[in-house]
Amino acid sequence: MTATLTEPPIATKPTSAPVRERRGRGGATRALWVLPPLVLAAGFFLYPLALVVKQSFVDKNENVGLDVWRDVLNSPSFGDALWNTVKIAVLSTLGCLVVGFFLALVLSFVPFPGSRAVSRIVDTVLAFPSFLIALAFTFLYGTAGVVNAAADKLGLGEPLVGFLYSPWCVVLAEITFYTPFVMRPLLAAFALVPRERLDVAASLGAGPLRVIRQVLLPEAWPALAAGGSLTLLLTLNEFGIVLFIGAKDVTTLPMLVHAKGAVTFDYPGACVVAVVEVALSLTLYTVYRFVFSRTGAGRAGLVA
Amino acid sequence: MTAPAIERTASAVASAAPTESAIGIQDLTVRYGSVTALEGLTLEVARGETVALLGPSGSGKSTALKAVAGFLRPAEGRITLAGRDVTYEPPNKRGIGVVVQNYALFPHMRVADNVAFGLRARRVPRAEVGRRVTEALDMVGMAGYARRYPRELSGGQQQRVAIARALAIRPPVLLLDEPLSALDATLRADLLGELQRLRGELPDVAIMYVTHDQTEALALADRIAVMRDARLVDLDATDRLYRRPPSEFTASFLGAANLLDARVLADCTAGDDAVRVAVGGLTVAADPTGAFAEGTRALLVARPHTLGVAEVDRADTLPARLVATQWRGADYRLTCVLEGDVEREIRIDVTDLAAVPALGERLGVALPAEPCVLVPAGAGG
């Protein structure tokens, strides 16, 4: 009894020398692994970002202050660009969610010849640069595009399709390009839903819409939210499609950065817009992480 | 091998000839592309009757069930429910309760919501839904788990909920597709007992029970349809099919019977009480399941538990050599090779073994005193 009481508790036992040595070696190895990516991140991302932030507070006369921010934030062009950016991103994301959900549903549960090929094509689209879609739209729906040329041959008169230079064309192009970003996680989620679950739901008297609403959608929600959030982030920052479409009066934040930086050479103004764009993206990403950690999607491996 | 319960015999014989048809299947064929998964199945299940579709993997039994449920579109044939043609009706219009092997519970719904799903889909009034959910959960002993999610239940409990969900809509037809296959042996035995009890509480429900496990089929079914290679091989009352299997395949699949080579010594028909056959060096009486001409080669069906072991030099036994012994708690399973022109491996289950024979030891295999069933050789079904 006495011996037990006088013996030091296990938790406070001093760590033996070999264990300490091993831990020391392990820590050094970890540091060696962590250091290169940290250096790369600092050199290629954090430092340029810091420069952009710094530049946004320095006006053309090298005076440091909030004047540039005040000028940019009060300008009508910034307000329009912000509104256009949010409007196009939200509409595109909603479109992607609707179209992506429907296509993923068909590909997963309505087998047809060639469905695997379509699935592969979806994967391929993910690797394309976005401006390709804008270019394709120009060939298809431009004044001298395929659709209007065919309409002209059929004697339908005036250009049949004239929406190429409207904001709606930007939205349509973004839906076309970003829908696979919603479909991919959805296809993965649907692949995990046993077919029997849908069959049994139907046998219990549920029609197709009820099965989709009450059985499939709850299971697809994390994937839908993940794909939708990613699409919203990407469409907020989309530049190639907007530039190539060249829609009239459609200036988004990335376009404004480009205009200020490369056309009017207003670098401080470009930096302010860029910082706003980054802040917008980071805020959205934070909300996305927060929502997912609360809904449990993170535990399902849908949030990195 | 467990012999079928004696109390089943009466009901099995009584329901051998279906009266009021709950499920009618005529010449049903299902194809997956160029593969025929089910060919020409014809089967009737009467109201209150349980028919087991028994067969190995790929025999077409689950395909038949899915076609009846409406999950698969048949290439040919006709399906009726209580006389109504439902061949091309969607599953949600058929009013059938379905229970599958992997439970197929909705993971995001609590147990009560799972059970209520079918009732809500049928727009049953809210007050009625609550009452029927409680009633269905009570039936399967899960009333205390209504607020839980499926992930919080064991496999056996999940399957009980799946059964309650199917029963809540009060279906006239219940389809069970290998409902016990995903459970461990103990749970399977428990739930099999539960299903037997439920069977008694649902006297008007027609049940189609798909399984590859003969014990489940013997314990639950009034009739058994034995299937093989997408076709129906044999269909009869459970008791009769077990005691007088009409084919080599059914004899070996249902009850894992030994099939001993025999030569018929006199012409006989299925109605004859017995016919003399030569088995090895013995001449014994056999119960013919069909007409056999004198000199025909046939197979004598002997269940492992009906055979005995004796000294090798006894005149009324077949000489054999022991190749494997398996102690199974309640009995020993001896695997022997019969000596003779054609060496055939047979299994003998013995409970009272004074001393376990050594491997390689010669012993005598004693045939049962009652005549064994005689089936045609090579007609595996």
- Tell me what the pLDDT averaged over chain A comes to: 83
Q: Is residue B302 scored above 90 in pLDDT?
A: yes
Question: In sequence order, what are the beta bridge partners of B28?
Answer: B41
If we measure between CA atoms, which residue out of B329, B332, B330, B322 comes closest to residue B364?
B322
Do B94 and B121 touch, CB atoms closer than 8 A? Answer: no
Is A199 within 8 Å of B71 when comparing Cβ atoms?
Answer: yes
Q: Which of B71, B101, B174 would best serve as a mutation to test chain A binding (most A beta carbons within 10 A)?
A: B71
Residue A148 CA to residue A142 CA, distance in Å, equals: 7
* Last residue within a domain, chosen from B243, B271, B288: B243
- Reply yes or no on whether the pLDDT at A300 is more than 50: no
Confirm if B181 and B101 have CB atoms less than 8 A apart.
Answer: yes
| ipTM given for this complex | 0.84
Identify the pLDDT of residue A159.
Answer: 67
The answer to whether the CB atoms of B98 and A214 lie below 8 A apart is no
The greatest distance separating any two alpha carbons of chain B, rounded to the nearest whole angstrom, comes to 77
Does residue A15 surpass a pLDDT of 60? no
The pLDDT of residue A113 is above 90: no
B238 and B254 belong to one structural domain: no
Asked whether the predicted pLDDT for residue A171 surpasses 80, the reply is yes
Q: Is B95 on the interface with A (CB under 8 A)?
A: yes
Write down the pLDDT at residue B16. 44
Q: Which amino acid is at B138?
A: D
Q: B95: which chain A residues are within 8 Å (Cβ-Cβ)?
A: 205
Considering only residues A168 and B31, tell me which one the structure prediction assigns the higher pLDDT: B31
Are A125 and A260 in contact by the 8 Å Cβ rule? The answer is no
Higher pLDDT, A28 or A257: A257
The predicted pLDDT at position A22 comes to 64
User: So where are chain A's domains?
Assistant: 13-48, 77-295
Query: Residues 6 or more apart from A198 whose CB is under 8 A from it?
Result: A109, A211, A215, A216
The two tokens of residue B54 are 């028994």
Out of A194, A207, A214, whose CB is closest to B102? A194
If one compares B2 and A285, the residue with the highest pLDDT of the two is: A285
* CATH number of the domain enclosing B189: 3.40.50.300
Is a pLDDT exceeding 90 seen at residue B297? yes
CATH (domain of B330): 2.40.50.140
Asked if residue B381 is part of any domain, the answer here is no
- Mean predicted confidence (pLDDT) in A146-168: 77
Domain count, chain B: 2
pLDDT for position A278? 92
Does residue A93 surpass a pLDDT of 60? yes
Determine the Cα–Cα distance for residues B46 and B23; give it in Å rounded to an integer: 7
CB contact under 8 Å between A205 and B169, yes or no, is yes
* B294 plus B228 within the same structural domain: no
* Cross-strand pairs, B30: B38
The pLDDT-based confidence of B341 (bands split at 50, 70, 90) is low
Closest by Cβ to A219, choosing from B94, B105, B108:
B108
pLDDT at B208 over 90: yes
Interface test with A, best of B81, B89, B92 (most A CBs within 10 A): B92
Q: Which of A93, A161, A171, A181 is nearest to A134 (CA)?
A: A171
CA B196 vs. chain centroid, Å, equals 14
Mean pLDDT of B97-111: 95
Domain termination residue (choose one: B243, B258, B278): B243
Q: How confident is the model at residue B69 (pLDDT cuts 50, 70, 90)?
A: very high
A215–B70 C-beta distance less than 8 A: no
* Residue B163 and residue B256 in one domain: no
Contacts B106 to A, Cβ<8 Å: 197, 201, 214-215, 218
Q: Are residues B184 and B275 in the same domain?
A: no
**B210, B341: one domain:** no
Predicted pLDDT of residue A303: 42
CA B254, CA B276: separation in Å to the nearest integer?
25
Identify whether residues B209 and B344 lie together within a single domain.
no
Average pLDDT on B347-354 reads: 87
List pLDDT tens digits, range B142-190: 999 999 999 999 999 999 999 999 999 999 999 999 999 888 888 889 8
Q: Is residue B322 part of a domain?
A: yes
Are B290 and B172 part of one and the same domain? no
Kindly state whether residues B256 and B231 are assigned to the same domain. no
CATH 1.10.3720.10 fits A77-295, yes or no: yes
Q: Are residues B299 and B225 part of one domain? A: no
A292 pLDDT more than 50? yes
The pLDDT assigned to A235 comes to: 93
Whether residue B366 sits in one domain with residue B225: no
- Point out the residue among A194, A201, A219 whose CB comes nearest to the CB of B117: A201
Give the mean model confidence (pLDDT) for residues B313-334: 90
Q: Give a yes or no: residue B270 inside a domain.
A: yes
DSSP characters over chain A: -HHHHHSPPGGGSPPPHHHHHHHHHHHHHHHHHHHHHHHHHIIIIIHHHHHHHHHTTB-TTS-BSSHHHHHHHHSHHHHHHHHHHHHHHHHHHHHHHHHHHHHHHHHHHS--TTHHHHHHHHHHHHTS-THHHHHHHHHHHSTTSHHHHHHHHTT--S-S---TTSHHHHHHHHHHHHHHHHHHHHHHHHHTS-HHHHHHHHHTT--HHHIIIIIIHHHHHHHHHHHHHHHHHHHHT--HHHHHHT-TT---HHHHHHIIIIIS--HHHHHHHHHHHHHHHHHHHHHHHHHHHHHTTTTTT---
Q: Residues B121, B261: one domain?
A: no
Q: Is the pLDDT of residue B96 over 80?
A: yes
Between chain A and chain B, the number of residue pairs with CB atoms below 8 A apart is 66
Query: Which of A36-40, A94-98, B7-11, B312-316 has the largest mean confidence?
Result: A94-98
Query: B354 is in which domain, residue-wise?
Result: 248-376
Among candidates A276, A279, A234, A284, which has minimal Cα distance to A257?
Answer: A276
pLDDT at B54: 96
CB-nearest partner of B90 from A200, A202, A214:
A202
pLDDT at B86: 96
Q: Is residue B97 part of a domain?
A: yes
Kindly report the nearest CA distance between residue B110 and chain A, in angstroms: 13
Which residues does chain B have within 8 Å of residue A200's beta carbon, measured at their own beta carbons? 98, 100, 104, 162, 165
Same domain, B87 and B206: yes
